[in-house]
Amino acid sequence: MIPSLLSSLSLSFIFEIQRHRTKKKMKLNSVSIIILSLLLIALSTTIVNAQQARESCNSTLPLNDLTFNATLLQCVEAWTLQNYILRYARTVENTWSFILSAPDSSAFIGIGFSTNGQMIGSSAIVGWIPSDGGAGTVKQYLLGGKSPGEVNPDQGDLTIVDKSLKIESVSSRIYMSFQLTAELPRQSLLYAMGPAGFFPTSPDYRLREHRFVTTTTINYVTGSQSVVKGSPHSKLRKTHGLMNMFGWGIIVIIGAIVARHMKQWDPTWFYAHIALQTTGFLLGLTGVICGLVLENRLKANNVSTHKGLGITILVMGILQMLALLARPDKQSKYRKYWNWYHHNIGRIMIILAISNIFYGIHLAKAGSAWNGGYGFAVAVLALTAIGLEVRKFKNK
């Protein structure tokens, strides 16, 4: 009797365990199905939003309150990487209508009109819609330089039709429209996208440095366009700056530090000094030649001071190289005069070189990155020299 009862209880217990496991599995399966369904809904929503944000010239323009005939608009995929679409047409004699659309990435969008393919000196139309739902804003900017302080709102030479600046968001895309009065708008166009999450605010409406930018040229008649890889002289300008910066402004200074503070390692310091100064001179000579060629090609008329300082530095460098050939023996009575000449000409040359490099960066309007980079290098060299001078003073 008891064994059969125990057997019945055991079977009942096993059955309950199996039933509990089955319910647990069913609950887990139900939870898994719910989570999977939510993921599929989120994924489908993301795909739909992405498809809505993506646009082509075959897409229907979702704007209804335009003041001009949208059927006249030609369309070009202005910036394929960022899905910028430009629609334009001459809707009235000497009046051109533009609509620039881009994905709403919580940033400003802009289109610049340039005379030479360069940002500096161009005028741009920039618009944004704040993420908090505030009203959209469109303004003309004068791109006076590459730093934010040189990009001025409500300035520029574009003749904008009164009350034609508009911006709106439709299906996760921004549509910025405007009209210009011109016989033919400039064909060099610049497109920009601002940093994510930043929107200019009153009263100054300053822009931060763009996140992405590209330059194209467009034929308004055929709609064909080509991407501009850079200014025809941009490589020459950069080579001129880098050669002078590394040659006169860094390597020559390192050579001078070696000569002053490393004499305990004789004659290694002497050969290192000669190698560094020769390398710096050759790089600086290359930079000066590039500068003269660049001046001739650009027909620049505001670089006379920069050019004069550069030639003065080159002459001093040549004199320093020639001084090596006329170096008296240590026992010679003329050695102290040679030392005075060599050391002081070198110091003057370094001071002029540093000054002229910063002046060249200013003339080129190269921006804060160049100033900051070279300023950091000079600061490191200066602190190193000061530290070595302090150590030398203590040793005496």
Q: What is the pLDDT along the chain (396 residues), one digit of tens a residue?
A: 434 433 443 444 344 445 545 444 444 455 445 544 543 444 344 333 444 457 888 888 988 888 888 888 999 999 988 899 999 999 888 999 999 999 999 999 999 999 888 888 999 999 999 988 778 999 999 998 878 888 999 999 999 999 999 999 998 999 999 999 999 999 999 999 999 899 999 889 999 888 888 889 999 988 888 776 555 567 888 899 999 999 999 999 999 999 999 989 989 999 999 999 999 999 999 999 999 998 887 767 778 999 999 999 999 999 999 988 888 888 888 889 999 999 999 999 999 999 999 999 988 877 778 889 999 999 999 999 999 999 988 887
Number of H helices, E strands in the chain: 7, 12
* Nearest in space to 321 (alpha carbons), one of 252, 385, 376: 252
Q: What is the 3-state secondary structure (H, E, C) of 182-212?
A: CCCCCCEEEEEECCCCCCCCCCCCCCCCCCE
Indicate the SS3 state at residue 51: helix
Strands in 148-301 per DSSP E: 151-153, 166-170, 173-181, 188-193, 212-218, 225-227
d(CA 40, CA 247): 60
Strand pairing report for 109-114 and 95-103: unpaired
CA 131 vs. chain centroid, Å, equals: 24
CA 66 vs. chain centroid, Å, equals: 35
